[in-house]
């Protein structure tokens, strides 16, 4: 039986529509809209697309969205100065510095930036203060991708309490916060990674399987317990025609798309998992749009808290 496809794009539209009246109410009460500052350093094409989407959706829900674009030659100190000035700006409620930062800034640049962002404006949920609050299950701002996944699971009526969950990936931005959010909702959680032995067997235990790896089609049907909920976080650009044909078939829609564009986007989950899973997030149109909708929700939350509303 084919899995139920979880429509992240549709849900993201609903979430934005739900936010709009609250944004208008905030604007009327405070005399200004919630303010979101987006900082984009360098020329990474994917980052430009993500930031463009964040700007468009933020403006649509009624935020003031300021885009601070800087060349790849910008120094880390200049970025930190910009963040400090945004921390001090009373009209800005949320600050997002798009990752990755240019490699020339050094390997600990992202950490230094996150350490500098005011936790009250940390709408990405990456500061140590907000991560600590998440560990302790206290109120704070939570990383958008895992928070968006939980929002979707709850709105879709998918059971979390009492289930076995496996999260593949232990990054600070997806894997670890995802595992904590599932744990706080009473799942029994395993975090798997590149050193996990017999990964397919570990994954087959899962009622909820979250793949946050960054390897196209890595999670095959033999990783999946029949009927499991499979959440595909991966966003991989596949450029090799042979791979596209291997995953999707000769003459498939994706193959045709590859012939037009030279690449296709796909997740970490192999297309044939659809035949085994009970529910599945597609890529594109699953977790990606939810992440951006959650950024909007976090920005409104930050704005309301800063005004003690
Ligand atoms: P990351 O920091 O590179 O982490 C990847 C994780 O996958 C690591 O923990 C790594 O294990 C694990 N891994 C790699 N190869 C593995 C293997 N063969 N077996 C088991 N585990 C393996 O990536 P990330 O930032 O978490 O992102 C993961 C994916 O999600 C990427 O495709 C990214 O583009 C996508 N993403 C999507 C959204 C969205 O909005 N849809 C948001 C964020 C990220 P080790 O720790 O042992 O190396």
Does a structural domain hold residue 3? no
Q: Which two tokens stand for residue 130?
A: 């907000």
3-34: pLDDT as tens digits: 999 999 999 999 999 999 999 999 999 999 99
Whole-number Å distance between alpha carbons of 211 and 288: 13
pLDDT score at 95 = 98
- Answer yes or no: are the C-beta atoms of 61 and 94 closer than 8 Å: no
- Answer yes or no: are the C-beta atoms of 223 and 209 closer than 8 Å: yes
Q: Is 54 a catalytic residue?
A: yes
Is the shortest distance between the CB of 198 and ligand 1 below 6 Å? no
Whole-number Å distance between alpha carbons of 212 and 233: 5
Is the shortest distance between the CB of 164 and ligand 1 below 6 Å? no
Across 55-70, b (16+ Cβ under 10 Å) vs e yields bebbeebbbbbbebee
Does a structural domain hold residue 251? yes
Does a structural domain hold residue 127? no
Give residue 20 CA to ligand 1 midpoint distance, Å: 32
Mean pLDDT, 10 residues at a time, over the chain (309 residues)? Answer: 94 97 98 98 94 97 98 97 98 97 95 97 97 98 98 97 98 97 98 98 98 98 98 97 97 97 97 98 97 98 96
CATH number of domain containing 82 = 3.40.50.10860
Whole-number Å distance between alpha carbons of 12 and 285: 10
101-118: pLDDT as tens digits: 999 999 999 999 999 999
Total domains present in the chain:
2
Does a structural domain hold residue 303? no
Q: Helices 241-248 and 253-261, interaxial angle, to 10°? A: 160
Catalytic residue among 93, 121, 122, 124: 124
225 is in which domain, residue-wise?
Answer: 144-288
Q: Is 268 a catalytic residue?
A: no
Q: How far is CA 84 from the centre of its chain?
A: 25
pLDDT score at 151 = 97
Whole-number Å distance between alpha carbons of 84 and 13: 33
Q: Is the same domain home to 151 and 243? A: yes
Q: Is the same domain home to 148 and 115? A: no
Residue located nearest, by CA, to atom 30 of ligand 1: 234
């Amino acid at each position: 039986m084919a899995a139920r496809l979880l429509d992240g794009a549709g849900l993201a539209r609903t979430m934005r529509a739900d936010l709009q009246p609250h944004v208008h109410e905030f604007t009327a009460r405070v005399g200004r809209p919630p303010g979101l500052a987006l900082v984009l350093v360098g020329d990474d094409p994917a980052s430009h697309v993500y930031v463009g989407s964040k700007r468009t959706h933020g403006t649509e829900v009624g935020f003031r969205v300021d885009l601070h674009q800087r060349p790849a030659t910008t120094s880390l100190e200049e970025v930190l100065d910009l963040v400090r000035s945004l921390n001090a700006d009373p009209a800005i409620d949320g600050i997002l510095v798009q990752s990755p930062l240019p490699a020339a800034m050094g390997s600990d640049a992202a950490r230094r930036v996150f350490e500098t962002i005011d936790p009250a404006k940390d709408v990405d949920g990456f500061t140590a203060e907000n991560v600590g609050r998440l560990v302790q299950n206290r109120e704070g701002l939570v990383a958008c991708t895992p928070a968006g996944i939980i929002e979707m699971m709850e709105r879709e009526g998918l059971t979390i309490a009492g289930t076995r969950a496996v999260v593949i990936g232990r990054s600070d931005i997806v894997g670890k916060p995802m595992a904590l959010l599932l744990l706080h909702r009473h799942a029994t959680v395993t975090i798997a990674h590149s050193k996990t032995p017999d990964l397919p067997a570990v994954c087959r235990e899962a009622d909820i399987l979250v793949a946050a790896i960054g390897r196209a089609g890595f999670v095959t049907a033999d990783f999946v317990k029949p009927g499991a909920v499979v959440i595909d976080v991966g966003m991989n650009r596949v450029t090799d025609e042979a791979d596209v044909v291997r995953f999707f078939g000769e003459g498939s829609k994706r193959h045709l798309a590859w012939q037009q564009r030279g690449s296709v986007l796909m997740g970490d989950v192999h297309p044939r998992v659809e035949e085994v899973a009970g529910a599945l997030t597609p890529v594109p149109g699953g977790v990606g749009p939810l992440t951006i909708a959650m950024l909007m929700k976090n920005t409104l939350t930050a704005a309301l808290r800063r005004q003690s509303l």
